[in-house]
Amino acid sequence: MSTTTMKKILIIILLAFLSACVHRNHEQAFDTIKHDPVALRMFLSEMPKGAELHTHLSGIPYAEDYIKWAAADDACIEQASSRIVVGPCGNSSISATQAFSKSNIWNTSVDALSVRQNLRDNRMWGHDQFFATFSKFGVAKKNVGRLLAHASKQAYRDNVQYVEAMLSIYGPKWVSPWAEKVGWHGNPVVALRELRESGLFQDMDQAIRKLDETEFLKNKELRGGEGSDVLIRYINQIYRGADPAYVFAQMAWSFELVHRDPRVVALNLVGPEDSPIAVRDYELHMEMLDFFHKLYPDVPITLHAGELTGWLTTPEALSNHIRLAVIKGHAQRIGHGVDLAYEEKARDTLSLMKEKGVALECLLSSNDSILKVSGKNHPLNVYISSGVPVTLSSDDMGVARSTLTNEYVRAVVDQGLDYGQLKKAARNSLEYSFLKGESLWKKSDPYIMIGVCAGDFVPDSDCMSFLSNSEKAARQWELEKKLKSFEENYRVVH
């Protein structure tokens, strides 16, 4: 063995030893403060978190943000519902500016646009209130560039590098004219051909140009300040509560959109999973996804599945949603997955998710607000112990009155996760993102870096070349540098 080779081996051993020492130090720091709520939140607010993978764009702002924007836009608040509507104000609405001087208007509006009241005397209150808020944002959510700028700033505050935001990117007529014309007769081949022939995709270039304008407005508002370095990609929403003709047309549009525009990285079905149509047509929706997956095998799919409990819907509906989402829906990630224990062959589903590398998007605050599931009743630790990769996300942080940092805190306090598990969740968020390119990791359980970049945080030419050709690896490298700095510099707050 040459002297040079021996020196390299000794350097690697030394780096591994130093890394282990740092690991023990920050683990000890975490153990010291994890039972102190103030110190714990300070620790986790500074922790780099990688990516936010499950967040609805219109659900990120708090109610207070929407009221502020409504006032700036000269919009009005409906007195009966607190819905934000376009001016001029009439007998049934008042100027949003009045909310700043009249506390009853302000408080009523904030309560209507969120779950701030957190009523527990009615089991359905959180569920119904949560989903009802979105229609009340009204005209205040029309400025999508402003929403994106706000999301970027919040990601910066949460120490997040990358966001996959769910929103609806369609033309001005949505899919209505084409869905109504073609209808649904059970034959996806014929339906897709007729949708194409009738011009379903004719507004897609216009929708893409609108996205260009939206990003321009976002960047104009950020002006190179905080949040400007946060990368945002998009997941197109498909509303599952519509009749089959409309759901199929949305899927056709969404698969084609992801195929055409690299900024739109995936698609997802949204809306209450327990709604009558969503329950009735769940298997049909998975069959539709299976059909499109065969035509567009490279288009990623992530699905809300298992956002249910035993008191919310029937045993039949609880029996197979997660499993069908993985097998027929070809989901690469599952959002929620709360009803796992009610599923038939639940252990087989866990094994399948582990085998296929299907990640769980865990949404603790949302699950508590909507489903009243928390603590030992939440399946998070079952997923972890079964080897399913897990990420932590916020879902609709403004509605739930949370942040991604809060979700990390909750993972510790409510679910007992340790620092190593939180760090793995942060790494998972980029590993299981839909960023393009090869991964920085040759193995993810445990995480082992590829040889060309292993051993140091000053990349050589080969590593630099690799990182420059992979958007995913570059973001992962950035996270590793931030984690290393965080772990080396953190001091326990006494």
The 10s digit of each residue's pLDDT in 53-68 is 999 999 999 999 999 9
**Torsion angle of alpha carbons 246, 249, 250, 253, nearest 10°?**
-160
> Mean pLDDT over residues 469-479, rounded?
97
> Mean pLDDT over residues 471-485, rounded?
96
Residue 279: pLDDT above 80? Answer: yes
Q: How far apart are CA 485 and CA 478, in angstroms?
A: 11
Residue 399: pLDDT above 50? Answer: yes
Last residue within a domain, chosen from 54, 78, 113: 113
Answer whether residue 195 is part of any domain.
yes
Q: 127-144 burial, b if ≥16 CB within 10 A, otherwise e? A: bebbbebbebbbbbbebb
> Mean pLDDT over residues 169-190, rounded?
98
DSSP 86: P
Higher-pLDDT residue of 383, 29: 383
CA distances from 266 to 225, 327, 332, 353, 380 (A): 28, 17, 10, 19, 24
Answer whether residue 272 is part of any domain.
yes
Q: How far apart are CA 141 and CA 138, in angstroms?
A: 6
> Mean pLDDT over residues 293-316, rounded?
97
> Mean pLDDT over residues 285-295, rounded?
98
458 — pLDDT class (breaks 50, 70, 90): confident
User: What is the span of the domain harbouring residue 78?
Assistant: 64-113
Answer whether residue 11 is part of any domain.
no
Question: What share of the chain has pLDDT > 90, as a percent?
Answer: 89
Q: How far apart are CA 162 and CA 140, in angstroms?
A: 25
* Res 378: pLDDT: 98
Q: How far apart are CA 310 and CA 316, in angstroms?
A: 10
Q: Quick one: 462 and 421 in the same domain?
A: no
* Res 161: pLDDT: 98
Q: Quick one: 266 and 359 in the same domain?
A: yes
Answer whether residue 285 is part of any domain.
yes
Residue 15: pLDDT above 90? Answer: no
- 494: helix, coil or strand? coil
Q: Quick one: 236 and 216 in the same domain?
A: yes
Q: Quick one: 260 and 156 in the same domain?
A: yes
What is the strand order of the sheet 93-95 is part of?
A: 84-85, 76-78, 93-95
Long-range contacts of 341-347 (CB under 8 A, 24+ apart): 341/379, 341/382, 342/308, 342/309, 342/310, 342/315, 342/318, 343/306, 343/318, 343/319, 344/319, 344/320, 347/386
Answer whether residue 22 is part of any domain.
no
353 — pLDDT class (breaks 50, 70, 90): very high
| Residue of 58, 435, 429 whose CA lies nearest to 266 | 435
Answer whether residue 19 is part of any domain.
no
Q: Quick one: 427 and 285 in the same domain?
A: yes
Q: Quick one: 425 and 476 in the same domain?
A: no
Last residue within a domain, chosen from 431, 461, 477: 431
Residue owning tokens 């509605």: 399
* Res 168: pLDDT: 98
Q: Quick one: 372 and 426 in the same domain?
A: yes
Residue 162: pLDDT above 70? Answer: yes
What pTM did the predictor assign? 0.93
Token output for 443 = 């193995």
* Res 352: pLDDT: 98
Q: Quick one: 466 and 415 in the same domain?
A: no
Answer whether residue 15 is part of any domain.
no
Domain count of the fold of the chain = 3
Q: Quick one: 77 and 173 in the same domain?
A: no
On the CB side of 250, how many CA atoms lie within 13 Å of its CA?
A: 22
494 — pLDDT class (breaks 50, 70, 90): very low
Q: Quick one: 349 and 469 in the same domain?
A: no
Q: Quick one: 394 and 444 in the same domain?
A: no
pLDDT, the chain, mean:
94
Q: Quick one: 188 and 283 in the same domain?
A: yes
